[in-house]
Chains A and B, each alone.
Chain A
Amino acid sequence: MSAWFNQQGASLREALNRLRSQPVTALLNALVIGIAISLPTVLYVIFDNVKSATRQISSEPQVSLFMAMEASPEEVAATQRDLKALPDVGQVRLIPRDKALEDLKASSSLGDVLAEMDKNPLPDAFVATAKDHDPKTLERIREAVSKWPKVAHVQVDSEWARRLFAVLRVGQALVAVLALLLGAAVVAVTFNTIRLQILTRQEEIEVTRLIGATNGYIRRPFLYAGVVQGLVGAALAYVLVLAIAYWLNRHLGDFSALYQGEFRLRGLMAGDALILLLLAALLGWLGAWLSVSRHLWRME
């Protein structure tokens, strides 16, 4: 076991020495990896932030049902009964037209205008909550109630959120595709860097093989070099993402102030940053492994 640790330690030292011997090349490679990783990461951060902001805004999925102005109290009561009887509907809340007018007067600057009106322009309305968050459930409720008599208008309140979620899903799929492509680019960059290292170490590889080195022994320093390169790249990507989030927040602050809101991008959370580091290390390892294995396979 101690032999194993000795070999790992020696390989890591060897890998760091190799990277230190060509600091500019190593740094440039790490920078390329960092930029490649930061692109999907920034998009991920943006979509993730928008998604959590939307979750906070959108409440439970609801259907608003507006009665016709001429609907009688009996017809309103009958509609309430029928609505409660629908299997997809959870809770039903009646907003009488008088209450709606009072609320509108209290919550908006239209109080003076509304006070001068002869008649209440608002209809009786119901707010029905669906039993689940499935958009199809809301659609079924809407279809059912829109055919009822004396129902003037039906509105699915969370529709805008649903559309936004659909857009976000497309965005996330794009992030995934981009991450996949740029992940392959990271593997390719590492593959090539390690290939160049192998070419300069070809003689050393041949000698060590002759005197009893296993493929694992030969591979190990290169694998560590790939992992270190991936980790440094990920660290650079993390700094880039923070910098981009900071820069975007300066502009987003002005933008969200226009809408009396406060929306700020938060950078990567600790868990996300850890995943980023692990993924980059894994991609670096994979690129290095493919490169050395190809070389060893050719030697054999």
Chain B
Amino acid sequence: MISFQQVTKRYDGGHIALADVSLQVKSGEMLVLTGHSGAGKTTVLKLMAAIERQSSGTILMNNQNVAALRRGSVPFFRRHFGLVFQDHKLLNDRSVLENALLPLDIIGMPRREGLRRARAALEKVGLLTREKSLPVALSGGEQQRLCIARAIVHGPSVLLADEPTANLDRAYAMEIASLLRLFNGAGVTCVVATHDPDVCERLGGRVMALHEGRVAQ
């Protein structure tokens, strides 16, 4: 489904974030990327979602060459993914329901159908009773669950999560890991970056360690 072939990412100034990385993610798989800060985990996720472009090598998504995407096609390409961010990236002036509705607004889904789906997504992450609250009224764990609801609401084929438990205490972190595992069990391909061994274990997928931009094992 996703294939990296000798991918290198070099930033302006010469810093190499990723060097000759090759990896495969099969449909429905859970891939857990581990490694210390600066190992290149986030870079892998950004390259997968075409948030950044590789300096060399080939990235294929369903046999489509990501580097060949035209600028105008990138937003449509990104809709294949659900993105979960470490810092949640929620819109604090919109309610929980409106945050969950955002990806459906973007694809132009009729309002009534969008609301139905957004509520269904909130129910899956246990936030339906908080639909009218603003994100600032939620705990860190709830905010991350809302971020997951927003990531899965449009039915993406791949979920990319970048350190989804980094700012959470143990109980919340395990809760989020279980939730991601649940979606993976439902057939969603997941690529999760984490440096937490317990979360890694709870996710239960194939583990790939990165070290200084290279695959370590």
Q: Give residues in A with beta carbon < 8 Å to B.
A: 2-4, 6-7, 10, 203-204, 206-215, 217, 300
Give the dominant DSSP class at A's interface: helix
User: Are A213 and B108 touching (Cβ within 8 A)?
Assistant: no
Q: Give Cα A215 to B106, complex, Å.
A: 11
Is B14 on the interface with A (CB-CB < 8 A)?
Answer: no
CB-contact partner of B105 in A4, A10, A214, under 8 A:
A10
What are 20 A-B contacts defined by CB distance under 8 Å? A2-B110, A3-B109, A3-B110, A6-B109, A7-B105, A203-B91, A204-B91, A207-B89, A210-B49, A210-B78, A210-B83, A211-B102, A211-B106, A211-B150, A211-B151, A214-B72, A215-B75, A217-B75, A217-B106, A300-B71
A6-B111, A203-B91, A204-B91 given; A213·B71 CB < 8 A: no
User: Are A212 and B105 touching (Cβ within 8 A)?
Assistant: no
Task: Enumerate chain A residues within 8 angstroms of B106, measured Cβ to Cβ.
Answer: 208, 211-214, 217
Task: Enumerate chain A residues within 8 angstroms of B108, measured Cβ to Cβ.
Answer: 2-4, 6-7
Q: Give Cα A4 to B110, complex, Å.
A: 10
Q: Give Cα A115 to B119, complex, Å.
A: 103
Q: Which of B132-172 contact A (CB under 8 A)?
A: 150-151
User: Are B89 and A212 touching (Cβ within 8 A)?
Assistant: no
Task: Enumerate chain A residues within 8 angstroms of B49, measured Cβ to Cβ.
Answer: 210
Q: Give Cα A292 to B108, complex, Å.
A: 21
Q: Which of B84-131 contact A (CB under 8 A)?
A: 89-91, 102-103, 105-111
Task: Enumerate chain B residues within 8 angstroms of A207, measured Cβ to Cβ.
Answer: 89-91, 102
- Determine how close the nearest CB of chain B comes to the CB of A285; give it in whole angstroms: 21
User: Are B102 and A210 touching (Cβ within 8 A)?
Assistant: no
Is B79 on the interface with A (CB-CB < 8 A)?
Answer: yes
CB-contact partner of A212 in B90, B107, B110, under 8 A:
B107
- Determine how close the nearest CB of chain A comes to the CB of B43; give it in whole angstroms: 15
Chain B, residue nearest A2 (CB): B110
CB-contact partner of B75 in A3, A204, A213, under 8 A:
A213
Is B51 on the interface with A (CB-CB < 8 A)?
Answer: yes
Chain B, residue nearest A206 (CB): B89
